[in-house]
Structure 1
Amino acid sequence: MPALPWSEGLVLGLSFMDDTHKEFVDLLARCEGSTDAQLPVLWNELIAHTDDHFGREEEWMLATGFAAGNCHATQHKVVLQVLREGAAMARQGELAPIRQMIRELAAWFPQHAQTMDAALALHLRGVGYDAATGEVRHPDALPLEEISGCGGASCS
């Protein structure tokens, strides 16, 4: 069983977020179960997916009233930097750090999804955001000031 299996606890109720999160969990499991020969290629797939995944979330944030430097986006940048450092290590033949990163990501992701992403999902529902079109159906619900925190009540 992978360190991070997909579960109902990760479901946010927005298919465009949940589908992407499931892909992340599946890719992480593929990395975890890979041979050393397969790991660098799969790790690069995980990086490409995660870069796209985080980029879309950041587009949604900017379209709905988040400041460019909000803490959610900052956490994305840090995680991507660590993933890229893992890829650099893999190019040097060092795979043990990536195996450790897989375990750390399996611990980090549920907390990130259940806090920052859940707050984003709640915000997107509140403003009626349509990810397919970029339309904000309830512009009157947009924040009066840019959100610099994660979007949750405890850090906005």
Structure 2
Amino acid sequence: MAALEWSGALALNLPQMDETHEEFVELLARVEGADDAQLSACWQELVAHTEQHFGMEDRWMAATRFASGNCHSMQHKVVLQVMREGAARAAQGELQVLRMMAGELALWFPQHAQTMDAALALHLRRVGFDAATGTVHLPEALPGELVHGCGGASCSPSSTAQAVPA
């Protein structure tokens, strides 16, 4: 059994985001179940998916007035950098690093999805963002200032107020 399995608790009611998150969970499970011969290839597939996944969310944030240095985007950058470093170490024969990282990702992902991604999903719904077209249907609902926090309750009160317009 994988350390993380898809469930309704991870769903955020944004189909494109939920599908991408479900794919992340499935790819992570493949990494966890891979034998040594397939581990690096499975990890590379997870890294490629995660680059696209985070890039998509970062583009959505940019389109809806999140500052480029907000904590959600910064977390994406850090996680991807660590994943790439894991791939480099695995290429040197340190496969156990990937197994440890997979376990850590299984712990990190639900927290990220249920906080930062949930706040982003709420924000996107409030501004009427269409993920398929990139169109903001309620531009009047966009925050007046760039969102510098993550848009969630874990950020500073001023960041939260900017991210979630009344």
Same fold (TM over 0.5): yes
Category of TM-score, reference length = shorter chain:
over 0.9
Q: Structure 1 residue 46 and structure 2 residue 36: aligned? A: no
Identity score, percent = 69
**Whole-angstrom CA distance in 1 between matches of 2:71 and 2:26:** 26
Alignment RMSD (CA, Å): 0.6
**Whole-angstrom CA distance in 2 between matches of 1:151 and 1:115:** 9
Runs of 4+ displaced beyond 4 Å:
none
Aligned twin of 1:14: 14
The 5 A counterparts of 1:92-111 are 92-111=92-111
**Whole-angstrom CA distance in 2 between matches of 1:99 and 1:56:** 26
Q: Secondary structure at the match of 2:37?
A: coil
The 5 A counterparts of 1:110-149 are 110-149=110-149
Deviation digits for residues 112-137 of structure 1, max 9, x if unmatched?
00000000000000000001111000
**Whole-angstrom CA distance in 1 between matches of 2:54 and 2:151:** 15
Aligned twin of 1:150: 150
**Whole-angstrom CA distance in 2 between matches of 1:129 and 1:111:** 23
Which ranges in structure 2 are unaligned for 5 or more consecutive residues? 160-166
* TM-score of the aligned structures, taking structure 1 as reference length: 0.99
**Whole-angstrom CA distance in 2 between matches of 1:138 and 1:153:** 23
Q: Secondary structure at the match of 1:37?
A: helix
**Whole-angstrom CA distance in 2 between matches of 1:17 and 1:63:** 15
Deviation digits for residues 33-66 of structure 1, max 9, x if unmatched?
0000000001000000000000000000000010
Aligned twin of 2:36: 36
Aligned twin of 2:83: 83
Bigger RCO (CA 8 Å, 6+ sep): 1
**Whole-angstrom CA distance in 2 between matches of 1:150 and 1:59:** 14
Aligned twin of 2:74: 74
Query: How far is the alpha carbon of 1:153 from its aligned partner?
Result: 3.9
Query: How far is the alpha carbon of 1:152 from its aligned partner?
Result: 1.6
Aligned twin of 2:162: none
Which ranges in structure 1 are unaligned for 5 or more consecutive residues? none
